[in-house]
Structure 1
Amino acid sequence: MRLFITRPMPDAVIDRARKEFDAVLREETTPLSGDEMRAALRDYDLVLPTLGDIFDAGVFADVAEPRCRLLANFGVGFNHIDVNAAKAAGIRVTNTPGAVTDATADIAMTLILMSARRAAEGERLVRTGEWQGWHPTQMLGLHASGRTVGIVGMGRIGQAIARRCHFGFGMDVRYFSRSPKELDFPAELDGSLAELAAAVDFLVISVPGGADTRHLIGADVFEAMQPHAHLINIARGDIVDEAALIAALEGGKIGGAGLDVYEYEPKVPAALIALDNATLLPHLGTAALDVRTDMGQMALDNVAAFVAGRDLPNPVN
């Protein structure tokens, strides 16, 4: 079976892929074009895609009899793949949960602290040579310890973030989820997103992307938040209405925002870049060598199971 890997991967992943499979590696770091996706479905038995490779219903419809039988997604999020259309075409889809949990939670904590303590703004001050020296009222931010964090989506990553906040920083934890969770730390379930937003100092987005969550966080949520509160998004960019977020930041309706993802990634609005109360990272959630290697190995575990006719470790359809 021929395996097509759509992006460069850590060396250990590529070495295993070439040893175990008839693997072809695409060298470009950009997402697949529509033509490349159609060719992948026609020419390969197995495809290892990732974020930005938009396998939507139209792509599947254009390939009447695909050779491909598995999309082994590199990443836990798979909203860039229409899993129902894939299933209708006879193509299985897998992902890589677990491998990304701690790294993504760490980035959430990075953004909480950077946003609250104005770290990105302070670094710019130093780098531009405009820092005039320490004084008692210089760049006063929000002390994070002992605050209240609100988690939107208390799944695996949401729980990892909440544990860090509670056990590491003494924060009270509240959350909004489709159902109550059995947790190993104290947390209060709120009845609505607006209720949660109004009660917390940090509102952290940790729900899957997709049609059901697009613009889940909009003007109504920002209106409910306290003026000093910070929004943190480490999930998917289009969960947040970016225009409404910019308006809230410009108008002082919220204290700040820490973002690792963007609605039209990699495009980031100039208005957002211009805001000192926005901390912006280039989708670093899982950007550690060992984490990306684990993700790749998990994707290949799914490929190996499929080739051997075993149950898939991480099926999503």
Structure 2
Amino acid sequence: MKPSLLVLIHLNDASLAKIGADFDVIYAPDAAQRAAALAEHGDSIRAVLTNGGTGVSAADIDQLPHVELLSAIGAGYENLPLDHARARGIVLINGAGTNDNCVADHAFALLLAVVRDMPYLDQATRDGVWRDDLPLRPAISHKRLGIVGLGNIGEKVARRGAGFDMEVGYHNRKPREGSSLRYFDNVTALAQWSDFLVVATPGGAGTQHLIDGKVLEALGPQGFLVNVSRGSVVDTAALAKALTSGTIAGAGLDVYEGEPNPPQALLALRNVVLTPHLAGRSPEAIAASVDNFLNNARRHFAGEPVLTPI
């Protein structure tokens, strides 16, 4: 008999079918379905699959007396009740490493789009506007790239920056062992040094509004911000003010506060490029994330150590 798995996030049909070969899947990707699933199937569920943004609450876990595995499909796990789960002896896993390249690619796509003003240039070309009537835009190469959060994703952003002959610096809570990149012990100093600031740090209470008005002022009127981490890391009101006043030149955001609702304060601004939290989504990344979950789950239910524990 296959163990029961509660899936709390949207998955495509192919992913559900693949997971369904190993699990009796209870699919509940919205709040109403979640409540119904917990009430009807709570006693039988042995594993939960979610993501860092959706998470699962301690109260939900308390309705699952037999749950033993809790997985975030991506790298983030900021809305998982880690201490509560550990106190219950629940094994915690995530999808570290499964979508790093996709997120780093998307970070550079956003950087290129906002610095070179690609959305506006596309529309201007369609409207018959020739280059002589358009403003010159900055180059990307040979600039200073600051990375907030030199984890797996941040490190791959740095590699892409090297391909553009950029000088790269970073901020972490402490220097990353073995890294030859320039380290800054605070975000404001990094922003002041940078031409482009890419945010790739984990979300959660520890990074809430880490990028605030002071950091944006330090980035300066020629500076550009890219966020592919979590919307909570950037103070939206401060960012809107900075973009409107010319405190910074522009921003590319894949994430924002209040998701899935778009950030109303930014929608009318030309110097912002927005995408709907899909930097880590591609056919390759989704397949790798699902495979990682299944490999972890098979090992767990076989009594073996998991591959990517939290």
Fold conserved (TM > 0.5)?
A: yes
Which one of the candidate residues 281, 287, 296 is aligned to 2:281? 287
Answer yes or no: is the 8 Å Cα contact 2:99–2:281 preserved in 1: no
Which one of the candidate residues 239, 260, 264 is aligned to 2:258? 264
Say whether 1:253 aligns with 2:247.
yes
1:139 maps to a residue whose letter is: P
How far 1:74 moved relative to its partner? 1.0
Q: Which residue of structure 1 lines up, in the alignment, with residue 86 of structure 2?
A: 87
Compute the RMSD of aligned alpha carbons.
2.1
- What CA distance in whole angstroms lies between the structure 2 residues aligned with 1:98 and 1:107? 15
Say whether 1:134 aligns with 2:134.
no
- What CA distance in whole angstroms lies between the structure 1 residues aligned with 2:267 and 2:87? 42
User: Deviations 1:227-286 (Å, cap 9, x if unpaired)?
Assistant: 110011001110011111111101100010000001111112222011000010111212
Say whether 1:171 aligns with 2:173.
no
2:79 maps to a residue whose letter is: H
Which one of the candidate residues 4, 9, 23 is aligned to 1:2? 4
- Paired residue secondary structure (1:212): helix
2:246 maps to a residue whose letter is: G
1:49 maps to a residue whose letter is: T
Note closer, same or farther for the CA distance 1:43–1:171 as it changes in structure 2 (3 Å cut).
same
Note closer, same or farther for the CA distance 1:187–1:52 as it changes in structure 2 (3 Å cut).
closer
- What CA distance in whole angstroms lies between the structure 1 residues aligned with 2:263 and 2:193? 29
Note closer, same or farther for the CA distance 1:230–1:31 as it changes in structure 2 (3 Å cut).
farther
Answer yes or no: is the 8 Å Cα contact 1:250–1:275 preserved in 2: yes
- What CA distance in whole angstroms lies between the structure 1 residues aligned with 2:148 and 2:53? 24
Q: Which residue of structure 2 lines up, in the alignment, with residue 54 of structure 1?
A: 55
Answer yes or no: is the 8 Å Cα contact 1:3–1:48 preserved in 2: yes
How far 1:300 moved relative to its partner? 1.3
Answer yes or no: is the 8 Å Cα contact 1:31–1:52 preserved in 2: no
**Equivalent runs, 1:1-317 vs 2, <5 Å:** 1-10=3-12, 12-26=14-28, 28=29, 30=30, 35-36=35-36, 38-39=38-39, 41-60=42-61, 63=63, 66-126=65-125, 129=127, 131-135=128-132, 138-166=134-162, 168-183=163-178, 186-316=180-310
Answer yes or no: is the 8 Å Cα contact 1:229–1:254 preserved in 2: yes
- What CA distance in whole angstroms lies between the structure 2 residues aligned with 1:198 and 1:37? 50
Note closer, same or farther for the CA distance 1:215–1:41 as it changes in structure 2 (3 Å cut).
farther
1:310 maps to a residue whose letter is: E
2:35 maps to a residue whose letter is: D
- What CA distance in whole angstroms lies between the structure 2 residues aligned with 1:111 and 1:31? 31
Answer yes or no: is the 8 Å Cα contact 2:240–2:266 preserved in 1: yes
- What CA distance in whole angstroms lies between the structure 1 residues aligned with 2:36 and 2:204? 23
Decide which moves more: 250-259 or 113-122. 113-122
Answer yes or no: is the 8 Å Cα contact 2:237–2:265 preserved in 1: no
Answer yes or no: is the 8 Å Cα contact 2:169–2:190 preserved in 1: yes
Answer yes or no: is the 8 Å Cα contact 1:32–1:53 preserved in 2: no
User: Deviations 1:117-161 (Å, cap 9, x if unpaired)?
Assistant: 01122234445x3x42221x6132221000000011111111100
- What CA distance in whole angstroms lies between the structure 1 residues aligned with 2:301 and 2:292? 14
Note closer, same or farther for the CA distance 1:153–1:22 as it changes in structure 2 (3 Å cut).
same
How far 1:19 moved relative to its partner? 2.1
User: Deviations 1:60-114 (Å, cap 9, x if unpaired)?
Assistant: 45x3x62221112211101121211222233222101111111110011101111
Q: Which runs of 5 or more structure 2 residues have no equivalent in the other structure? A: none
Aligned length: 307
Percent identity of paired positions between Structure 1 and Structure 2 = 34
